[in-house]
Amino acid sequence: MNLQLRNNSKNPFTLITGASSGIGKAFAVKCAQLKMNLILVARTGPELKRLAESLKSTYNIQAVYFCADLAQKDTPKRLYEWCMDQKLPVNKLINNAGVGHAGPFEESTIAFYETMMQLNMLSLVKLTQLFIPEIKKHSTGNILNVGSMASLFPVPYKCVYAATKSFVLSFSKALREELKNTSIKVSCLCPGATITNAAVQARIKASGWKGKIFTMTSDKLAALTIKKFLTGKTVIIPSWKNKMVMLLTKFVPDAFIPAIAGKLFRN
Ligand SMILES: NC(=O)c1ccc[n+]([C@@H]2O[C@H](COP(=O)([O-])OP(=O)(O)OC[C@H]3O[C@@H](n4cnc5c(N)ncnc54)[C@H](OP(=O)(O)O)[C@@H]3O)[C@@H](O)[C@H]2O)c1
């Protein structure tokens, strides 16, 4: 790992989880373009190393990386301790790593759901709690938690995933209120379908026109999100089409929403 760092006290770091691919990688590129120093986290070392090297040389920033599985209970603490040992000042945390899923609830194992809940919720909560005291040391600080449009309503055939993302939205809004008199602004991103890994691409394809009209590239999503994140927006819904869906859910009685979502996601 590259640890020949300059004095960083005036150039704090943004920590991004799930930075080796997809939306997290797009966040890393966008932040590097804005000259933000980066701590990149994911399981796959070679990808992270390549990305860190390329961002450092292209944008003249500092970028370090930490490879670990955030679905392991002790990883958030190890990551925090590593950052403190390396004297990396952190003023922004982007909790992006997450795993998605589609299919009947009964067809996946409980072990799979446990890993999903560990990654999507517990690691995010642990990292947030560990890094708040560090972020508070800076005059401004931001936390971005990546939810989903599935944060906004129950989604049959994505039962557990949607529930984890509802948790992320609720946690983010409540924590933002608790921290309102501090230097930290908490935001939650609720993206719709975004072209990233092969499974997501297959799901977008299978959903036909309904999925495709809401689809965005990860680069466009990152550009829209980072701009709003830096202004401290509470809930970031990146496209007008998704904002329309959110508005519609407010007018449809709660009892009908699972049935409508079930029809849309059955395939
Ligand atoms: N794509 C969409 O349509 C969409 C829509 C709404 C919300 N989201 C949310 O956006 C976030 C990113 O999704 P994405 O589509 O960009 O996914 P992705 O392309 O699969 O990327 C996931 C990233 O997280 C890392 N990661 C996965 N499991 C990990 C673990 N156990 N420990 C550490 N890192 C891990 C992956 O790297 P390694 O495999 O190397 O660890 C990768 O860098 C997720 O929270 C997802 O729920 C995505």
Domains of the chain in sequence order: 13-265 (3.40.50.720)
pLDDT at position 79 over 80: yes
Termini Cα distance of the chain = 43
Averaged pLDDT for residues 151-158: 95
Averaged pLDDT for residues 167-177: 98
Give the pLDDT of residue 8: 52
Tell me how far apart the alpha carbons of residues 192 and 181 are, in angstroms, rounded to a whole number: 31
Is 192:215 a contact under the CB 8 Å cutoff? yes
Give the pLDDT of residue 210: 66
pLDDT at position 216 over 80: yes
Q: Is the CB of 63 under 6 A from ligand 1?
A: no
In this structure, how many other beta carbons lie within 10 angstroms of the beta carbon of residue 138? 16
pLDDT at position 181 over 70: yes
Give the pLDDT of residue 148: 97
- What dihedral angle (degrees, nearest 10) is formed by the CA atoms of 202, 156, 100, 118? -160
Q: Tell me the pLDDT band of 4, cut-offs 50, 70 and 90.
A: very low
Contacts for 248-257: CB closer than 8 Å, 24+ residues apart: 249/152, 249/153, 257/153, 257/154
Q: Which of 74, 96, 145, 219 to mutate to test the pocket of ligand 1 (most atoms within 8 A of CB)?
A: 96
Is 92:12 a contact under the CB 8 Å cutoff? yes
Q: Is the CB of 69 under 6 A from ligand 1?
A: yes
Give the pLDDT of residue 2: 43
Q: Tell me the pLDDT band of 1, cut-offs 50, 70 and 90.
A: very low
Give the pLDDT of residue 128: 98
Is 220 among the residues known to form the active site? no
Averaged pLDDT for residues 7-23: 87
Q: Is the CB of 94 under 6 A from ligand 1?
A: no
pLDDT at position 266 over 80: no
Q: Is the CB of 95 under 6 A from ligand 1?
A: no
Is 243 among the residues known to form the active site? no
Strand order in the sheet with 141-146: 63-67, 37-42, 13-17, 90-95, 141-146, 184-189, 235-236
CA dihedral sign of residues 130, 142, 145, 43: negative
Give the pLDDT of residue 9: 55
57-66, 140-149, 200-209, range with the lowest pLDDT: 200-209
pLDDT at position 3 over 50: no
Q: Tell me the pLDDT band of 129, cut-offs 50, 70 and 90.
A: very high
Q: Tell me the CA–centroid distance for residue 257 and ligand 1, in Å.
A: 26
Q: Is 87 left (phi over 0), alpha (psi -120 to 50) or beta?
A: left
Judged by DSSP in three states, 12 sits in coil
**Residue bearing the bigger pLDDT, 213 or 173:** 173
pTM (two decimals): 0.94
Is 195:201 a contact under the CB 8 Å cutoff? yes
Atom of ligand 1 nearest to the CA of 165: 47
Q: Give the up-direction half-sphere exposure of residue 4: CA atoms within 13 A in the CB hemisphere.
A: 2
Q: Tell me the CA–centroid distance for residue 98 and ligand 1, in Å.
A: 4
Q: Is the CB of 200 under 6 A from ligand 1?
A: yes
